[in-house]
Every structure is written in structure tokens, then in C-alpha cells.
Structure 1
Amino acid sequence: MRKSRIFLYVILFVILLGIFYFWMVKPANKQTTTTTSISNSQVIDEAFQLIKKEAVFAKKENILVEGAIRGMAEALEDPHSTYLTKEEALAQESSLAEERVGIGVEITQSGGKFVVVSPLKDSPAYRAGLKPQDEIVRVNGEKLDGKSMAELVKMLSGEKGTSLKMTVYRSSEERHVELHMKREVIAMHTVSSEVYEAEDFSIGIVTISIFGEKTGEEWAKQTKALVDRGIDGLLIDVRGNPGGYLYSVSSIVSTLLENGKTFAYMQDANGVLEMLNTESKEKPYLNKIPAVLLQNGGSASASEVLAGALKDNNRAMIVGETSYGKGTVQESHPLSNGGKLKISTHKWLTPKQEWIHHKGIQADLKVEPEELYTMDIKYPHGEFRVGDFGEEIKYVQNVLRALGYNIGRKDGYFDEDTMDGVEKYRQERSLEPSSEIDDVLFQSISKTLMEYKTRKENDKQLQMGISYLVHEMKK
């Protein structure tokens, strides 16, 4: 009897334990397997959870979400629609801003080295004594080996008034120099101008580097000063200008065309056209002056809007090469994580309703620049002799060939012809006799190339534009 009771108690205990399990343990397990929804799409949520649970190379949730956004932007197959992280969005805004905080220096990356092109005049870098061709090797004691240009820019950026220590290698003096400076607000000018005299005519040359926040105001200031000086013709240079804000183009066009003239059309995703007309409170003060616009393959977007407006309204002669061919307009939408989604929302058309996407705007007068004029100035270092191979040697070969020296190779292999060219160049430039390529030769070649590019007589496109203006002004 007692045994049967014990057995009964055991059975009751097992039953109670089972009830406890199903009521207490199961809900807890169910709760732990509940998935977090990150979208209204079931398949996206499924993929998100699988990656989090199964992937060997696990990533943080914010990285996965950003990757999904990038993927959606890439699926549009539009190179101008993209996702920007918080840092990338700030960098893009800064590139078009009127002012930036920094030290004011232009830097290029050559052979893994960061070389100063030039410090901006009166900038912290300029006052600290930074010179062209200085190689930046440390920033605040941190070596730059393996760093990217973006990483260097971040290291040079900071709050206004903060100090920065920079170590550079000055090859002309064969020594390292330590410089100290403080970050300041640097005014970013996007418009520059000068007067060029040609056959008793004064021609105003206005260069627009990008269409930023204050480009319209800068344009007005510069061009009104040119008009006050009595210019007879106007040459607008947008070569290499990647674009920018459309409202800046509008303000510039309004000084060149009569009020009410159509300078472009906007077309939305439904095909609805919106006419964009010039609108100015003051009378256009440049509309009677003969004008030329210089462009090349690097002139894109807003630069092409300007070119199309002037060409279709028969306001200016377009000189140079076919432009880039970007016929879309992007809008940036802020996201809750601080990033931005930039997507193409409109097509823009010329006043004759032509869509120039992937076609570009043809130049009225086609002019190809000289090979030497288009070469990038580099600042390599090292010593090389016959039998060596490298990009540094290739740079020397290409420059010497363009200068007229009899060099057969241009692939970076140091052969006998290259040696002969080097020896002849050294002799003609009064350099120390040698058959080697060294830092002295590199500096001389880069200086020669820079001097060539700064002489306006070597700019065939500019000279053609000036010749056309002189012809028009003589009528």
C-alpha cells in the first residue's frame, strides 16, 4: 500500500513538472526566438536574422542596415544614386560650403606618399612655412604609412583654434621639418577672374571651379568688377567643374540672358516638365558682351546646364571638348542614423528639350589640348638607373617625350634611350651631370611641367576662345 502511494506521488510530481515546463519554460523559449522586424518586408527580415545568427563574419546591426540601404541604391543602376554615411554626408556638404575649418593646403597622393601641391595664401599652412613638394610624413606624431587620403583629411580636420603638429620631409634640403599651426576657418572661393589683353581688347576670364553655396554671389562680385574695368569680351571657364547647386547656375545665367528666358527644363518621374526661366531683380549686365564658354570631358552636371542654356539661347560659343554627359538631378534625403540617401529624382533638359545624359554637350569649336598640358603634376621620390622599372620612371619618360626628347619607351622600364634623354635634359637645364633619375631630376621635371601649364599661350582651348572673341569684337 505504501509503495503504491509513493508511486502515485511520483506520477503526480512528474505531471506537475510537465505542467510547469509547458507553462513557464516554453513561453520563455518562445520569447527568446522572437525575431526583430527591421522593415515591412518579410524576406528582408528573414535575411537579416539569418545573417545575424549564422554568418561566420558577423557584423553589427547598423553595418548590416547600411549595407542593405547601399544595396537598394545600387539596384537602381544609377551611379549618381547612393547612400552616404554620416561622415560621407558631412564631407559632401563641406565640399560645397562657403567655409571650412582646416589648415588650407592642397595635397596629392603619389606613390603612396602625400605631397603638398601648394598651401593657400595666408592660410595656417602658408604661415607655418609649408612649401610645395614637401612630403607629409607625420601628423600629431602619427605616421602616415598605409593611410588613405580620406584618413589624412580627417587627421587634418578639427575644431577651430585647435593645434596641429606636422612633420614633413623637404627633399630640396634633405631634412625633416616640424611645423606647428592652428586650424582656422578657411574661405572657399569657387570663382576667380582676371583680365587678358589681346589685340587692344580686354577680355575678362572667369573660372568657376564648382557651383557651391555662394558661387552666384562670387560671380556677381567678380564680373561686376570686370565690367567696371571696361572688358570687351567674356570667357567663362568650367573645365573640370563637376557641378553643384542648380540655384547657383540660375543666378549666373540670369546675368547673361534677358529676364524670362528659359535656361532648362526639369522632368519628374512621371514625365511632367517644368520650365526654368531666368529671374533677376536687376537688369542683366552681361547680356550684351560677347561670350565664350570653355568646357572639357570633366565639365558635368550644373556646368552642362550652364553650357546648354548659353548654347541653345545662342548666347555664347562653346569651345573645347564634349562635356561629361550627366542629365539627372539628385536630392539628398536625411535618414535617422545621420546618413543621407541621395537619389536621382529628375531629368534636366536643355532649352531645346534635349536630354544630354551619357551624350554630353558638343563643343561648337572642338579643340584638343596639347599632351603636355593635360598631364598631372606628380612629386615622386627615389633614385633609379638603367634596368630599373617603376611608375616614377614612367612619369619621367612621358614628360620628356612630350617635351620632344627622343625616348621610345613609356612603360616605366629604364632603357638606354631613357638614359640619353635624362642626360640631355640635365645638360640643357644646367643640372649636375648624371645618367640617373633622382630627386633633383624629379623636382626639375615637375617644375618644368608646372611652368608649361601656367603659361596661357600653351592652353590651346583658351587661345581658341580668345581668338574667337577677338574676331567677334572686330566686327
Structure 2
Amino acid sequence: MEDKNMQSFAYNVDSEVTRIKRFAAIMVLIVALFFFSFGAYFSFLYINSANNQLTPINKFNKIYETLVNEWYYGPEYMDVDEQLIMNAIEGMFDREKDAYTRYVPTVDFLQTSAKGIGISLIEYNDYFYITSVNSSHANMLKIGDVITAIDGVTTKGVPLENISSFTAGKDEVEITYIRGEDTKLARVSIKEYNVITVFSDKDFSEEASYVRIQEFGMNTARELEVILDDISKENLILDLRDNPGGFIDSVLQIGDLFLEGNKTILETRNKDGDSHYYKTSDNDKYEFNKIIILINDGSASGSEALAAALSEHLGDKVILYGETTYGKGSAQKNIPLGDGSVLSYTYALWYSPNGNSINKVGVSPQIEDKVTRLNIYDYDLELYSHGEFVAALQYVLTELGYKTTEWETPNYFSNELVTVLTDFQQEKGIEQTGKLDKRTRRYIAAEIKDKQVSDNNTQLENAFNHLLGVING
């Protein structure tokens, strides 16, 4: 009897264990299914959320619409829509990487026209200095005049390439300019002018002729060809200092005047590494025993390309003299946007015929002869001012010879600087304030300009003396 009871008990225990195992297996399966379903659900939510993420352009539109409709400060702008778009456009550019890709608003961008007021300008200290004047304006405007406004609108801080926007669509404009201490007005007409870009002195010396190319305009190559036809000297001084560049076609045409056919003047490489080679034609060439090419840190773009091409192709016949050039070795395309505005963007970099990069490197002279560059900033300074603008003022006064010893307090406007400025003002016959005010800045700027002319002439004389040394062995 006991054996039967024991067997029954054992059977019941086994059955209970089996049921427990089955129950546990079922629970494990249920839990697994739960977590699988839970995970699948959230995976679905994640994927669906990812699929619904805004694309960059949709994100931009969302931000733009929100700010236009709900931004608290929006009403402070005359046209908040346009302001937001302009801010966004400016945000697309990386000025440190590429200073030449930019949006140019409402500019007369007809580069095939020489229409204007018949003057050439350089940009200095946020203003425009006249460097040449058409003869019809000679009784009003003079070289060295400083243009401050056109039709009452200030030109201060306006990029040189935007200056044509002041004359677009007009028959005449009123120029406000400064000459010495006086502010004057001149009303000039807008017409077609033949702007002269090449200046020469064919009888510079018995040994050489002198030619200066101020910039590469539409007719520069033809101007130069006429001059070269009239030159009989065996050596040439070609001055490309402070030449900012211009039309690349003009650079290529000038290369044609000096180099044999099928020679590379310039190579461009785009973002994909594809190269395009600009080569010379088989026209007649002008030959010289020696060509000294004057360059400096104001020689940029096309002038750098021309200097490099002539040097690399003509070898010992060419001597690059002066200072390392600016290093503007990039090519831009201009896309009109329909309202007079333009997108100018860099599409390729320039390389010399030997494959040397120009961009941010420049072209180095074989004979270095540096000229000190001085600048006076458009800031009022007085006793106790300090910082980089004071340091710049001290440097200028030292270079101009008004301070011959070390400054006791560099970068600081001390009584020592007050004394030097007061002496300068007394010498010039102006009010002795001991401060750097607008009137004092004008007189300092005039001295800087005179020194620049003198230093440039000295550099030219040094280059000529070097040429004589080479010729005479």
C-alpha cells in the first residue's frame, strides 16, 4: 500500500514539475513577444520620425516663415523679409576661405562698357582717390582728389567694384570731393570714355624704355602694342606695381605680344581637378634683351599671372624685382540675378605655366626691394587711448621722421604722443590739439602719399641700376 502511495506521490510531483516548466516556457514566450512588439513599435516610431525630419531647405523655410510672422523684433525692419534673406545670403559665404565669392547688390555689371565719369580710382582708407582724369574734367577734378560722395550719397566703405552703381542709369552726377582743406562739388556727365591704362617713357634712359600698366582694361593690349611699336631700346622696364588685375582676356593678349605661339600663360583648375590651359597665338612678338618686371604687394590677379608667365617662359631674360605679390590666384564667374544684382563666385584657382600656385602665395621677386607701406586709420584718438590704432599712429609718425627714438609707452596715447602730434600740427599750421582728429589725419595722409611716391621712385631707380649692372656685366 505504501509503495502505491509513493508511486502516486512521485507521479503527482512529476506532473507538477511538468506543468511549471510548461508555464515558464509560455511566460518566456509571452515576455519575448512583448519586448519584440515593444521594440518593433519604437523602431517604427524612430524610422517614421527620421523619415519626417525636415530637409535643410525645408528647415530654412520653416525658420524664415516663423521669423517673418512671429519674430518680436521683425517690425523694427522696413522690410523684414528682405533683411532675413540678405542675412541668410551673407551667411553662405566663408570670407576667411574665399574673400571673392560674394553677393553684389544692384550694380551695373556691364563689364563690356567703358561708360562712366572718365576717372580712374584707387581705394584707400575707405575712400576713393583719383589716379587719372579724362581731359574733359581737367578743369574740375584733379589727380589726388578724394571722392567722399556721389549725388549726396557717401562712398565711404563702398567696395571699388560697386562704385558703378552710383552712375547706373544716369546722364550726370554730382561729385563731392576733398582737395587739401576744401570740400568741393563737381557736376560731371556720364558718357563713353577711352580710359588710358598704359603709360610709358620710351626715352627713360639710353639703355631701356619704361612702361607702366595700371590695370588690364578692354583696350590695354592695344594701347601697349602701339607703345611697343614705337620703342627702339633693347631693354624694357615693365611696371606692374599696384596693378589690381582686370580682364583676363587682356592679360592673354599681352602675353601674346611677348611669347611664342602655343605657350601656356595661365592654367585654371576647378574643384574636380580639371584643368584648362590658356595659350598664346602665333602673332608677331616683341623681343628685348632684358625685361625687368616691377611687382609689389599691390600687384594682384592678372598682373601676377602675367609676371609669372613671362618669367617662367623667358627665363634669364626676365628679372622680377620688388616685393612678393598679393596672391589673388582665383577665377570668378558672375551670375546676374535679374534685378541688377550679381552673384560672383570662385570656380577655379590659377596656376603658373610651371604649375605653381598663385592663390594666397603670390609671385616672389628674384631681387627683393621692399617699400614700407603706411596707413592712417579713420579713427579719432586722444590722450589715454590705447590699442592697435595708437600703435599704427606711432609707427606712421616714426616712419615719417617725426619721432626718431623709441616710444616710451608703445600702443598707448601718452603725453609723449601728445607732444609729437602738437609739434606736427604746429609745423602744418593747423590747430594744435594734440589729438588725432579729422584735419590732422588729412595732413598725415598727404605726407604718406608723398612718401609713397618718393619710395616708389626710389624703387624704380634701384631697379634701373640693377638692370645696368646686369647689362654691363
In structure 2, relative to structure 1, the CA distance for the partners of 1:407 and 1:115 (3 Å cut) is: farther
Amino acid at match of 1:320: G
Residues 79-98 of structure 1 aligned to structure 2 (within 5 Å): 79-87=99-107, 90=108
In structure 2, relative to structure 1, the CA distance for the partners of 1:74 and 1:413 (3 Å cut) is: closer
Establish whether residue 301 from structure 1 lines up as the match of residue 321 from structure 2. Answer: no
Residues 375-386 of structure 1 aligned to structure 2 (within 5 Å): 375-376=374-375
Q: 2:200 maps to what in 1? A: 193
- Unaligned ranges ≥5, structure 1: 1-40
- Find the partner of 1:359 among 358, 361, 384: 361
- Find the partner of 2:58 among 45, 62, 75: 45
- Find the partner of 1:218 among 206, 215, 223: 223
Question: Does the 8 A contact of 2:204 with 2:210 survive in 1?
Answer: no
Q: 1:239 maps to what in 2? A: 241
Question: Does the 8 A contact of 1:160 with 1:184 survive in 2?
Answer: no
Q: 1:20 maps to what in 2? A: none
**CA–CA distance in structure 2, aligned partners of residues 234 and 299 of structure 1:** 18
Per mean C-alpha deviation after superposition, the further-off stretch among 319-328 and 156-165 is: 156-165
Amino acid at match of 2:451: Y
- Unaligned ranges ≥5, structure 2: 1-53
In structure 2, relative to structure 1, the CA distance for the partners of 1:69 and 1:76 (3 Å cut) is: farther
1:302-342 Cα offsets, whole Å, 9 max, x none, are 22211221222114111122223333322223345554333
In structure 2, relative to structure 1, the CA distance for the partners of 1:187 and 1:272 (3 Å cut) is: same
Deviation at 1:75, TM superposition (A): 10
**CA–CA distance in structure 2, aligned partners of residues 342 and 134 of structure 1:** 28
In structure 2, relative to structure 1, the CA distance for the partners of 1:235 and 1:418 (3 Å cut) is: farther
Deviation at 1:394, TM superposition (A): 7.3
**CA–CA distance in structure 2, aligned partners of residues 207 and 60 of structure 1:** 49
In structure 2, relative to structure 1, the CA distance for the partners of 1:182 and 1:356 (3 Å cut) is: closer
Question: Does the 8 A contact of 2:296 with 2:325 survive in 1?
Answer: yes
Residues 163-182 of structure 1 aligned to structure 2 (within 5 Å): 164=174, 166=176, 172=181, 179-182=186-189
1:192-244 Cα offsets, whole Å, 9 max, x none, are 2224645x42x33222233232222222233333x1xx233212222233333
Amino acid at match of 2:139: R
Amino acid at match of 2:209: G
Q: 2:117 maps to what in 1? A: 102
In structure 2, relative to structure 1, the CA distance for the partners of 1:398 and 1:48 (3 Å cut) is: same
Per mean C-alpha deviation after superposition, the further-off stretch among 432-441 and 316-325 is: 432-441
Deviation at 1:444, TM superposition (A): 5.8
Number of residues of Structure 1 aligned to a counterpart in Structure 2: 405
Establish whether residue 328 from structure 1 lines up as the match of residue 330 from structure 2. Answer: yes
Q: Secondary structure at the match of 1:467?
A: helix
Establish whether residue 258 from structure 1 lines up as the match of residue 260 from structure 2. Answer: yes
In structure 2, relative to structure 1, the CA distance for the partners of 1:407 and 1:118 (3 Å cut) is: farther
In structure 2, relative to structure 1, the CA distance for the partners of 1:74 and 1:139 (3 Å cut) is: closer
Q: Secondary structure at the match of 2:139?
A: helix
**CA–CA distance in structure 2, aligned partners of residues 180 and 324 of structure 1:** 36
Deviation at 1:44, TM superposition (A): 0.7
Question: Does the 8 A contact of 1:98 with 1:212 survive in 2?
Answer: no
In structure 2, relative to structure 1, the CA distance for the partners of 1:98 and 1:317 (3 Å cut) is: farther
Question: Does the 8 A contact of 1:98 with 1:189 survive in 2?
Answer: no
In structure 2, relative to structure 1, the CA distance for the partners of 1:375 and 1:109 (3 Å cut) is: closer
Question: Does the 8 A contact of 2:244 with 2:302 survive in 1?
Answer: yes
Q: Secondary structure at the match of 1:330?
A: strand
Amino acid at match of 1:220: E
In structure 2, relative to structure 1, the CA distance for the partners of 1:426 and 1:335 (3 Å cut) is: closer
Q: Secondary structure at the match of 1:127?
A: coil
In structure 2, relative to structure 1, the CA distance for the partners of 1:160 and 1:360 (3 Å cut) is: same
Q: Secondary structure at the match of 1:351?
A: coil
Establish whether residue 78 from structure 1 lines up as the match of residue 98 from structure 2. Answer: yes
Amino acid at match of 1:284: K
- Find the partner of 2:472 among 455, 471, 474: 474
Q: 1:454 maps to what in 2? A: 453
In structure 2, relative to structure 1, the CA distance for the partners of 1:456 and 1:256 (3 Å cut) is: farther
Question: Does the 8 A contact of 2:119 with 2:131 survive in 1?
Answer: no
Percent identical among aligned pairs is: 20
TM-score of the aligned structures, taking structure 2 as reference length: 0.68
Question: Does the 8 A contact of 1:212 with 1:244 survive in 2?
Answer: yes
**CA–CA distance in structure 2, aligned partners of residues 240 and 361 of structure 1:** 14
**CA–CA distance in structure 1, aligned partners of residues 57 and 443 of structure 2:** 59
Question: Does the 8 A contact of 2:133 with 2:143 survive in 1?
Answer: no
**CA–CA distance in structure 1, aligned partners of residues 211 and 396 of structure 2:** 29
Deviation at 1:367, TM superposition (A): 1.8
Deviation at 1:368, TM superposition (A): 1.5
In structure 2, relative to structure 1, the CA distance for the partners of 1:148 and 1:123 (3 Å cut) is: farther
